[in-house]
């Protein structure tokens, strides 16, 4: 049994294998967030890229929880230099952790830190724990290799950005679902800012029209699988 709780934007808590993994915990300065960084209890944190709305509060949460940040090599070095524990991975590489396996996948986007310094390449991630696989796409446009990700992985839940402007919009995200073929897709990265204010119901209806399952989670809501 695994449990995903929506923190808002692209932020999640994944409870699996007796561990809690925070993904892209952006809370401070996030107009939609309902919890504070100090409310987050996690032993691992996955960061998909260095943009402020994804790196977010990862470093302070890592230090407060003695958690390990799992992210690309460049972001891992940055976090280590700021005193957090970090495990570096890079695109295509997987590593086993106490809760299961994390593999970084490609994402078409940017990854500079808020101060402009180099944050390596952006990523998505595949998290496998106790036979369940979650795919968090990070921030990305649609790409054909999502088909390969779908072919090679039996994905229980896909977390896909739908907000347009910075990432896939609704129609591209629906095509992504057709490529990935997850058992369930949950949309993310919408409504946080005016420029990404799209309707998740439209996405869910279009996904269902293609014969796939979609679920919209409100902020603070959870999905067990
Ligand atoms: Ni971004
Ligand atoms: Mn973003």
The per-residue pLDDT for range 196-216, each reduced to its tens digit, is 999 999 999 999 999 999 999
- The answer for residues whose C-beta is within 8 angstroms of residue 16's C-beta and 6 or more apart is 2, 3, 99, 100, 127, 129, 130, 132
| Beta carbons of 9 and 189 less than 8 angstroms apart | yes
- Judging by DSSP bridges, how do beta strands 19-23 and 44-46 pair with one another? parallel
CA of 106 to the centre of ligand 1 (A): 13
Task: Return the pLDDT at 17.
Answer: 83
* Nearest ligand by distance to the CA of 24: 2
In the numeric block, which tokens belong to residue 205? 């209806």
Residues of the chain short of pLDDT 70, as ranges, are: none
Q: Is the dihedral of CA 8, 11, 13, 16 positive or negative?
A: positive
Number of H helices, E strands in the chain: 6, 13
Q: How far is the CA of 89 from the centre of ligand 1 (A)?
A: 18
How, if at all, do strands 85-89 and 68-72 pair?
Answer: parallel
Q: Which residues share a beta bridge with 97?
A: 100
Ligand nearest to the CA of 119: 1
d(CA 40, CA 106): 27
Claim: this prediction has a pTM higher than 0.95? yes
* SS3 letters across 49-95: CCCHHHHCCHHHHHHHHCCEEEEEHHHHHHHHHCCCEEEEECCCCEE
Q: Which fold has domain 2-224?
A: Metallo-beta-lactamase; Chain A (3.60.15)
Ligand 1 center–CA 145 separation, angstroms: 19
Ligand 2 centroid from CA 26, angstroms: 10
Q: Which residue's structure tokens are 């402020």?
A: 52
Tens digits of residue pLDDT in 150-202: 999 999 999 999 999 999 999 999 999 999 999 999 999 999 999 999 999 99
pLDDT at 23: 99
Distance 1 CA to ligand 1 centre (A): 30
CA–centroid distance, 54 to ligand 2, in Å, is 6
The DSSP string of 106-137 is: E-SS----TTS------EEEEEEETTEEEEE-
């Amino acid at each position: 049994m695994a449990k995903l709780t929506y923190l808002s934007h692209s932020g999640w808590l994944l409870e699996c294998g007796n561990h809690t993994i925070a993904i892209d915990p952006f809370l401070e300065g996030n107009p939609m967030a309902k919890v504070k960084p100090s409310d987050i209890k996690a032993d691992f944190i996955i960061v998909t890229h260095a943009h402020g709305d994804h790196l977010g509060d990862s470093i302070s949460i890592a230090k407060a929880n003695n958690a390990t940040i799992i992210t690309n090599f460049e972001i891992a070095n940055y976090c280590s230099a700021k005193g957090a524990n970090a495990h570096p991975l890079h695109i295509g590489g997987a590593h086993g952790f106490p809760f299961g396996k994390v593999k970084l996948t490609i994402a078409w986007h940017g990854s500079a830190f808020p101060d402009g310094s180099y944050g390596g390449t952006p990523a998505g991630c595949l998290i496998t724990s106790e036979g369940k696989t979650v795919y968090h796409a990070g921030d990305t446009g649609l790409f054909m290799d999502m088909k390969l990700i779908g072919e090679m992985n039996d994905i229980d839940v896909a977390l896909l950005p739908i907000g347009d402007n910075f990432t896939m919009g609704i129609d591209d995200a629906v095509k992504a679902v057709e490529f990935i073929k997850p058992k369930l897709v949950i949309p993310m990265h919408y409504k946080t800012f005016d420029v990404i204010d799209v309707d998740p119901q439209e996405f869910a209806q279009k996904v269902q029209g293609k014969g796939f399952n979609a679920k919209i989670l409100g902020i603070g809501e959870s999905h067990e699988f």
